[in-house]
Amino acid sequence: MAAGSGLRALGLTAPLILILLILLWPPPVLPQGPPGTAEQRCFCQVTGYLDDCTCDVETIDAFNNYKLFPRLNELLESDYFRYYKVNLKKPCPFWNDSSHCGIRDCAVKPCPSNEVPDGIRSGSYKYSEEANNLAEECEEAERLGAVDGSLSEETLEAVLRWTRHDDSSDSFCEVDDIHSPDAEYVDLLLNPERYTGYKGPDAWKIWNSIYEENCFKPQTVKRPLASGRGDDEGRTFYNWLKGVCVEKRAFYRLVSGLHASINIHLSARYLLQDTWSEKKWGPNVTEFQQRFDEVLTRGEGPRRLKNLYFLYLIELRALSKALPFFERPGFQLYTGNKIQDAEIKNLLLEILHLAKSFPLHFDENSFFAGNQKEAAKLKEEFRLHFKNISKIMDCVGCFKCRLWGKLQTQGLGTALKILFSENLIEKIPESGPSYGFQLTRQEIVALFNAFGRISTSVKELENFRNILQNM
């Protein structure tokens, strides 16, 4: 992509560029694999039961591809779920890096404010009596706070710190300040996740930082990150992984599953044709094989795909657990269009009931089930490690990759928040405000769009299987 851009800058036409690239580009050196089709090499181990689960891949495929995926797509095309507010200008908190991707497909086009529905933009978020009462309480609190001039600056700052701590104590993500002047609404349908050309050392630096510093892993044990790294094909790493507690193993598998899902999106929506008249996006089988073929990845690829299914189960379980929160009559998906909002809530509840009906849910009760003090300590480590990963997303140089990275980590973080708040969710009253457990609109939009990405990945795997079978 970059080479083609450079040749065009020299004034060469598209046919000449193509001929030069064919002559100059070195052919890929592909290792000789065992007998079998390309489809078998990618998917040979991705069948049957998943590690740490009682579920099997085939059940997930049938449930997702033919029941849940079509309904979820319809939901995510609605106004409430397509607009996501994000700050893409936050500096990287871990290293000095002001470089940004110069490729045009890395750009994100924010929405003019007049295109965002009034109900979303104004912050008036419900149609219910509960919301009106809550708004009055907030206004009263704001009025009382405004006339209280007796607090010193030091005390006021301390109060603000306590408030921020209370707000973030159950959060698994570093959340953007949506009231910041740098935060803008983005239409996710007009900025789809796909291959942008952002790769190489900058992209590897992000994933290296995530895996090597945030996955409860000894520094001496290296994760098999790319083909050719390490001589034992990851055996040392996976022997180590099998020996750790289920929580730390699950944490790694969630990160690996997220990485696999993103790689599937990039392979499934690859820039296949870029001419002056049109751009064509579609599945790139070579790209998919380089990321998931058993031989090209030294056995790592099929493991990545299994971790994708593990991530699917975790997020699906969270959706089923959150049903009582969304079922309350006082909860509304407010955009300002009353008829459409009622229809979308009905569709949302249909999806959540469908999620709850899944026959082989992941049992999250195996998490943090040991000594209470040790379990609480491990849970806090789990939360802080994941929060650190969400901060790393502000170091991604490609703005479109940053957008989708931030959204998907916030979505997974929200899913973890739900799973770890089961007791609070059970105590939610059928009517009236839910003070013990709350989800913001940002969290709701991220939760469903993130699961939509995982669901799309599982559906795309079916497409790649069919393509590889015919090769």
Residues forming the active site: 398, 401
CB-based contacts of 416, cutoff 8 Å, min separation 6: 172, 314, 318, 382, 383, 386
Spell 423-443 as b/e; 16+ CB within 10 A means b.
ebbeebeeeebbeebebebbb
Give the separation between CA 213 and CA 129, rounded to whole angstroms: 48
**Number of other CB atoms surrounding residue 170 within 10 Å:** 14
Query: Three-state DSSP class for 86?
Result: strand
How far CA 8 is from CA of 12, 18, 21, 198, 200, in Å, comes to: 5, 11, 12, 19, 22
**What stretch of H or E contains 84?**
strand 83-87
The answer on whether 259 is annotated among ligand-binding residues is yes
What is the number of residues in the chain?
471
Q: Nearest-CA neighbor of 397 among 118, 178, 201, 192?
A: 201
User: Which residue type, as a one-letter code, is found at position 24?
Assistant: L
Start-to-end CA span in the chain (Å): 26
- The answer on whether 455 is annotated among ligand-binding residues is no
Tell whether 402 is in a known binding site: no
Q: Is 249 annotated as belonging to a binding site? A: no
Are the C-beta atoms of residues 8 and 17 closer than 8 Å to each other? Answer: yes
Q: What is the dihedral of CA 134, 140, 146, 148, to 10 degrees?
A: -120
Q: What kind and span of H or E run contains 386?
A: helix 372-392
Instruction: Locate all alpha helices (DSSP H) within 296-363, ordered by sequence.
Output: 300-321, 323-327, 338-356
Annotated ligand binding at 194? The verdict is yes
Is residue 328 a contact partner of residue 427, using CB atoms and an 8 Å limit? no
Count the Cβ atoms, other than its own, within 10 Å of residue 55.
Answer: 21
The answer to the question of whether 8 is labelled as a binding residue is: no
CA-CA distance, 160 to 57, in Å (whole number)? 47
> Collapsing DSSP states into helix, strand and coil, what is residue 183?
strand
Helical ranges in 123-189 per DSSP H: 129-147, 153-168
Q: How far apart are CA 417 and CA 318, in angstroms?
A: 9
Binding site membership: which residues? 194, 196, 207, 256, 259, 291
Binding site membership for FAD: which residues? 194, 196, 207, 256, 259, 291
